[in-house]
């Protein structure tokens, strides 16, 4: 397997090329290093390679991985956040990419104001309309923005996130309209609310150059950096807290990864 430094250099060259095609500055694009199911060693690799943001899909995985990892990276939650896991999540993550409802915003606001946190969030938008994907409908975005601005003083809304449908490599260009739609939605919301929403989290290992051409500022990259995810997930015990998977309790997460 190639050295991580070589792999990262190749990815950065593709980012620079995509920015050049779009007339953008490569400094506008940051990599979110997605370490899902990998061990803490890849967090060190990313940090030592110059990457400053680590993305995790699950609260319970970050709970064991973060204390074992090198200090320094900014941790982002990129997977779905359950309302009963908001409290532990706010202790672990600085930014949340996948906020998809007003009730979830209210829960984050309640806990954040109680414990003195100032989370940054992105609204996840399901621009493709696929039932298999999380995210709010584009038509629901204005109400969510209004709610954050009027009722969530602890929360900073930085932008939006989406996932394009899966296409095989030879049809990857078909992802473009979905990324473009999110950028156009962001631009319209900035005009409507007279506010800036600078972050667009879109693009993963298979489609990130197209996402960058369409305006992505954060690309969520895992496989292209670290290789295929381990078949056997690392198992780590964590504090189970007081509540289980359902309900609105603050208890936290599973005892092991699922």
- pLDDT tens, residue order, the chain (258 aa): 689 999 999 999 999 999 999 999 999 999 999 999 999 999 999 999 999 999 999 999 999 999 999 999 999 999 999 999 999 999 999 999 999 999 999 999 999 999 999 999 999 999 999 888 899 999 999 999 999 999 999 999 999 999 999 999 999 999 999 999 999 999 999 999 999 999 999 999 999 999 999 999 999 999 999 998 886 555 554 443 333 332 333 333 332 222
State both tokens at 134: 């999380």
Q: What is the pLDDT of residue 251?
A: 34
SS3 157: strand
Q: What is the pLDDT of residue 2?
A: 84
How far is it, in rounded angstroms, from Cα 256 to Cα 86?
18
Q: What is the pLDDT of residue 237?
A: 41
Q: Which of 195, 124, 114, 194 has its CA nearest to residue 154?
A: 114
Q: What is the pLDDT of residue 80?
A: 96
pTM tops 0.85: yes
How far is it, in rounded angstroms, from Cα 59 to Cα 135?
18
Q: Can you say whether the dihedral through the CA atoms of 225, 231, 236, 239 is positive or negative?
A: positive
How far is it, in rounded angstroms, from Cα 16 to Cα 154?
35
Q: Which CATH number does the domain 4-226 belong to among 3.20.20.10, 3.40.50.10860, 2.60.40.10, 3.40.190.170?
A: 3.20.20.10
Residues 6+ apart with CB under 8 A from 52: 30, 72, 73, 74
């Amino acid at each position: 397997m190639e050295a991580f430094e070589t792999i990262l250099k190749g990815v950065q060259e593709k980012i620079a090329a995509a920015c050049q095609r779009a007339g953008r500055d490569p400094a506008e694009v940051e990599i979110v290093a997605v370490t899902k199911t990998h061990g803490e060693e890849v967090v060190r690799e990313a940090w030592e390679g110059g990457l400053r943001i680590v993305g995790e899909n699950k609260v319970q995985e970050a709970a064991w991985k973060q204390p074992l990892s090198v200090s320094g990276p900014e941790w982002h939650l990129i997977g779905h956040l359950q309302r009963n896991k908001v409290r532990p999540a706010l202790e672990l993550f600085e930014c949340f990419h996948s906020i998809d409802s007003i009730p979830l915003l209210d829960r984050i606001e309640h806990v954040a104001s109680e414990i003195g946190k100032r989370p940054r969030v992105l609204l996840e938008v399901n621009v493709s309309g696929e039932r298999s994907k999380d995210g709010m409908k584009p038509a629901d975005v204005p109400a969510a923005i209004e709610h954050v601005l009027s009722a969530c003083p602890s929360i900073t809304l930085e932008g939006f996130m989406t996932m394009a449908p899966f296409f095989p490599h030879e049809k990857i260009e078909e992802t473009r309209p979905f990324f473009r739609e999110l950028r156009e939605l962001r631009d319209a919301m900035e005009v409507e609310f007279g506010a800036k929403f600078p972050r667009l989290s879109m693009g993963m290992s298979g489609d990130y150059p197209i996402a960058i051409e369409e305006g992505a500022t954060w690309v969520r990259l895992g496989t292209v950096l670290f290789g295929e995810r381990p078949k056997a997930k690392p198992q780590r015990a964590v504090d189970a807290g007081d509540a289980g998977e359902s309900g609105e309790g603050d208890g936290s997460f599973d005892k092991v990864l699922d």
